Structure 1
Amino acid sequence: MGFKVKEIRLAKNISQEELSKASGVSRQTISDLESGEVVNTTTSTLAKLAEALECNVGDIFVLNV
């Protein structure tokens, strides 16, 4: 899911720091998600990122089956 956060963030020309400030999610958490260091996160974090990125949670959540 982190690659989708990064993909959307870059498409909107937003830095990790800007996303952190807009979402209330730490820059380190965003970095860890985008790099794949963290593969699971809370629905609350997903909701905050989606709101800050002006997208739906489904746009950034990728189900690994």
Structure 2
Amino acid sequence: MGYRIRECRKEKKMSQCELAEKSGVSRTIISGLENGTITTTTTDTLLKIAKALHTKVADIFFES
């Protein structure tokens, strides 16, 4: 999941700080998800990240 968050974020040319600001999720959480130190999170967090990336949660889990 984390690598997909990173891919989506980079496609949008967004830094972790920008994603944190737009999503309301801390940069520490985003970084942890992206690098694999955090492997579980809440549905609410995923929804916030997906919304900030203008994508669906399913797109974070599954490549199209």
Tell me by how many angstroms 1:26 deviates: 0.1
Residues 1:60 and 2:60 are matched in the alignment: yes
Tell me by how many angstroms 1:61 deviates: 2.4
Give the Cα–Cα distance (whole angstroms) in 2 for the partners of residues 23 and 52 of structure 1: 5
Tell me by how many angstroms 1:54 deviates: 0.1
* 1:1-65 matches, cutoff 5 A: 1-62=1-62
Structure 1 runs not aligned, ≥5 long? none
Tell me by how many angstroms 1:20 deviates: 0.2
Give the Cα–Cα distance (whole angstroms) in 2 for the partners of residues 61 and 44 of structure 1: 15
Tell me by how many angstroms 1:48 deviates: 0.1
TM-score (norm 2): 0.93
TM-score (norm 1): 0.92
Give the Cα–Cα distance (whole angstroms) in 2 for the partners of residues 41 and 59 of structure 1: 16
- State the number of aligned residues: 62
1:13-60, Cα deviation, whole Å (9 max, x unpaired):
000000000000000000000000011111000000000000001011
Instruction: Give the partner amino acid of 1:11.
Output: E
Give the Cα–Cα distance (whole angstroms) in 1 for the partners of residues 22 and 3 of structure 2: 19
Structure 2 runs not aligned, ≥5 long? none
